[in-house]
Amino acid sequence: MRSLILSAVAAAAFVFAGSAAQAERLTEKPLVDSNWVEANLDNPSLVVVDIRSMTKEGSPYDAGHIPGSVYAPYGKFGWRAKVDNVVGMLPPVDVISGRIGALGIDNDKQVVVVPAGQNSSDFGAATRVYWTFKVLGHDAVTILDGGQRAWLAAGKAVSKDAVAPTKVAFNANFRPELLASADDVAKAQANGVALIDARPESQFKGDAKSGVVARNGAIPGAKNISQSKFYSDQDGAFVASDTIAQLVGDAGVSSDAKEITYCNTGHWASVAWFGLSEVMGNKNTAMYDGSLTEWAADPSREMVIPE
């Protein structure tokens, strides 16, 4: 069933690809700082997307946001969807493309994604949205390193004026090589592809598990690099490429290896994917969107308790 879904997505993407254009990128960097964002706020090609989630106190966007930014909260906007009874998946290409267009983002826009930036898991919202743009073929996307936390720490101005974007057409050019299926994962070892488990060590070793995952353990042959190692909660910033290279080496994986990241639902996996592919520069990296929520639900798929 999953392969049929991916085939349908790819077919839909082919329809969109004919009219898709590539934006003139304002930056080639996967991460930008507050000074860069501030300096480019008046550029009509820029769209700043605030993805901070709602809190008990209400909307963080209403309380103060980067001037001119649009609001698309990670948990409510529809960045992810339930597909074939698997939660947290990439929505159908036409659906997510329509949502992106509703933010005023067309194929000529440079996107800056802004999370809260409080910790690595929160920053994973930004890396997941970034991956979504990339898998849809939109390269003109970057993340504000440290998110809103860094913006405020730099003493930058905030606004309480809500922005109502004008809907435009966003045309996807789907990249299947960035999205791994369960079949890809099953064939990984035979195909010389490394599996990177981005969950905490306790979950990797089977001492704990997420409530949405049916069984304890890990996919056979996987190496563990916890997503928490890619982002400094204390500094509120993503780690440097040489640090990531050290993490990869310590895990026993080549820095240019073909690899697939996974976690429980494809959230933490996006942190590892972003670090490996975008910051360190290993473009042989894909992400398993369904992750263990999909994998462990099928009793025929093997799970192991690593030594």
| Tens-digit pLDDT profile for residues 160-176 | 999 999 999 999 999 99
**Alpha carbon distance 93, 286 (integer Å):** 18
Strands annotated E in 65-164? 70-71, 81-83, 86-89, 110-114, 141-144
On average, the pLDDT of the chain sits at 93
Residue with tokens 């993490």: 247
Which amino acid, residue 100? I
First and final CA of the chain: distance in angstroms? 33
Whether residue 9 is predicted with pLDDT greater than 70 in this model: the reply is no
Whether residue 190 is predicted with pLDDT greater than 80 in this model: the reply is yes
HSE value, Cβ hemisphere, 13 Å, CA-based, for 122: 22
- For residue 22, the model assigns a pLDDT of 53
CATH of domain 176-297: 3.40.250.10
**Alpha carbon distance 275, 229 (integer Å):** 10
| 31-154 CATH choice from 3.40.440.10, 3.40.250.10, 3.40.50.300, 2.120.10.80 | 3.40.250.10
Residue 307's pLDDT band, with cuts at 50, 70 and 90, is confident
Both tokens assigned to 174: 């789907």
| pTM across the whole model | 0.93
The 10s digit of each residue's pLDDT in 105-130 is 999 999 999 999 999 999 999 999 99
Both tokens assigned to 211: 């409530």
CB 291 within 8 A of CB 263: yes
Give rounded-to-5 percent helix, strand, coil for the chain. Answer: 35, 15, 50
The 10s digit of each residue's pLDDT in 199-215 is 999 999 999 999 999 99
181-198 average pLDDT score: 97
Stretch(es) of the chain classified as CATH 3.40.250.10 = 31-154, 176-297
Residue 19's pLDDT band, with cuts at 50, 70 and 90, is very low
**Alpha carbon distance 194, 205 (integer Å):** 18
Whether residue 157 is predicted with pLDDT greater than 70 in this model: the reply is yes
The 10s digit of each residue's pLDDT in 57-113 is 999 999 999 999 999 999 999 999 999 999 999 999 999 999 999 999 999 999 999
Q: Which residues face 261 on adjacent strands?
A: 196, 287
**Alpha carbon distance 227, 307 (integer Å):** 20
Q: How far is CA 251 from CA 3, 200, 226, 277, in A?
A: 30, 14, 11, 16
**Alpha carbon distance 38, 25 (integer Å):** 16
User: How many of the other CB atoms lie within 10 Å of CB of 261?
Assistant: 30
Whether residue 297 is predicted with pLDDT greater than 90 in this model: the reply is yes
Range 176-188 burial, b when 16+ CB lie within 10 A, else e: eebbbbbebbbeb
